[in-house]
Amino acid sequence: MGKTVLTIQGEDFFINGKKTYAEIDGSKESSHGLLMNARFIQGIFDEKEDISRFNRFGVDKYDPDKNTDDLIASLDEWYDYGLRAFTVGIQGGGPCFTISNDTINNNPFSDDGLSIDPKYLDRLDRIIRAADEKGMVVIVSYFYHMQISRMKDATTVVNAVKTASKHLKNQKYTNVMIEIGNEHNAFKSHPIALEDEGMAVLINIAKEASGGMPVGSSLVGGYYNEQVTKVSDVILIHGNNCSRQKFYNLIQKVREISPGKPVVCNEDSQSIGNMEVAFNLHASWGYYNNLTKQEPPVKWGVLNGEDKFFAYRMAQGIGIKLKEITKEEQFYFHGFEPEIEYEGKRWLRVASLNPETINYVNFYKGDELIYTCYDEPFSLFWFNNWKQNPLFIEDNKGEWTAEIVLSSGEIITKKNKL
């Protein structure tokens, strides 16, 4: 190991002694030191209850090893757009649209927390080593709220932190950051991981057991905690449910509490308008597509629409030169992809390269106006910026139109059929 050596100096990240992105000819100096990232939380996902539930989305039989291999195969493409880090969860993360999280068993820690399923560790190792070869960082997230609830008690949780951290140290990884808990203020089953003081203790345990790897822990979107912020090496925040103003305020607040540290949003949404805020404040931003990148089996590549627009805007912010996207290609009507249906449900939404230019989107079935969405991401039946309610196909077959009304008054129309 050690082809990719991550270090931190003040608010900046360095790889092999050089600020990130500084190696790219023509890159913007303002981007140097950032760690633009994506949530690939299901990179080692498995299921101990009924794995056949994930035989879907065009996949006849879910294979956790293939899932990992597919993620590794996608890294070259993501790297070329400027992605330099991604989050992978030891306990994964729950599907938001389909299978109930509390029915999934994706916890590889033993009952006493003293060991981890070796199959999970093997998949994690393959990912970290592939990232190391490429020049990328892996943010290893230990706990997820629906899986930590399967752990017995506080002693088990402490043991698990020590076990995971010692494993990362023993493997001599140099391209890893640690996230103790994915939104730990949702960990109601274990006060030691839920409460501020307990999480601060766990962070310090991980620092020591890992041999000094950078450690932090995130909270639910828009939230921060003073004690956790102060003890963290890297301030991990989530932008879910945040408007651009609220996201701006969040970054400013955590910097006020604990200045001189890098701020990394490692989960937001498809709302790439928030990424512009991060670039302006010299904070790193994390793309989170909870439909295509968190519902196993995952399609890990840069897909048309949301993925591509994020990748392109990320590259623009860094200063990576790309072929220009035509105006016609700058809008994409999602939800009609052949393999995205689940139990007769689909999720219709409009993605844009420049969502800030959209005033609102009208969704029509035939000539009937069904819904108007004013907030990014522009989805039918918007719930928040990372979730939407489904459309039941059987009752809604026919032609659908997305009427995209720009702030300039121009109207762009996209049509498709169910």
CA 371 to chain centre: 28
Considering the entire predicted model, what is its pTM?
Answer: 0.97
What per-residue confidence (pLDDT) applies to 49?
87
What per-residue confidence (pLDDT) applies to 18?
98
What per-residue confidence (pLDDT) applies to 1?
58
What per-residue confidence (pLDDT) applies to 159?
98
Tokens standing for 39?
């949530």
**pLDDT tens by residue, the chain, 418 residues:** 589 999 999 999 999 999 999 999 999 999 999 999 999 999 999 998 899 999 999 999 999 999 999 999 999 999 999 999 999 999 999 998 999 988 999 999 999 999 999 999 999 999 999 999 999 999 999 999 999 999 999 999 999 999 999 999 999 999 999 999 999 999 999 999 999 999 999 999 999 999 999 999 999 999 999 999 999 999 999 999 999 999 999 999 999 999 999 999 999 999 999 999 999 999 999 999 999 999 999 999 999 999 999 999 999 999 999 999 998 899 999 999 999 899 999 999 999 999 999 999 999 999 999 999 999 999 999 999 999 999 999 999 999 999 999 999 999 999 999 9
SS3 helix, strand, coil % of the chain, rounded to 5?
A: 35, 25, 45
Domains and CATH numbers, the chain: 6-318 (3.20.20.80), 328-417 (2.60.40.10)
What per-residue confidence (pLDDT) applies to 99?
94
What angle, 0 to 180 degrees and rounded to 10, lies between the N-to-C axes of helices 196-209 and 154-170? 30
What per-residue confidence (pLDDT) applies to 43?
98
32 to 14, 37, 133, 150, 363: CA distances (angstroms): 9, 14, 21, 41, 40
